[in-house]
Amino acid sequence: MSRMDELKELMAGLEEDLVKFYEKGNKAAGTRARKQLQELKKLSQDIRLEIQDIKNNG
């Protein structure tokens, strides 16, 4: 799976849980959203490092 697909999939799930949390008050969705945001942060950092490595070595 490409990095872009990973980001899109993560964002789609995050959007669903954020809607459930903010609009419906579902606390479990808030917990899932926080977990997905942490995963997004990690994935973003991995992509940043990959880009930097390609830029410097390619």
Q: What is the pLDDT of residues 34-43, one digit of tens each?
A: 999 999 999 9
Q: How many domains does the chain have?
A: 1
Q: Which domain holds residue 25?
A: 3-57
The model's pTM: 0.85
**11-58, pLDDT tens digit by residue?**
999 999 999 999 999 999 999 999 999 999 999 999 999 999 999 997
DSSP class of 2: -
pLDDT at 58: 77
Q: Is the pLDDT of residue 1 over 70?
A: no
Please answer whether residues 3 and 50 qualify as being in contact, where contact means their C-beta atoms are separated by less than 8 angstroms.
Answer: yes
For the chain, the C-alpha Rg in angstroms (whole number) is 14
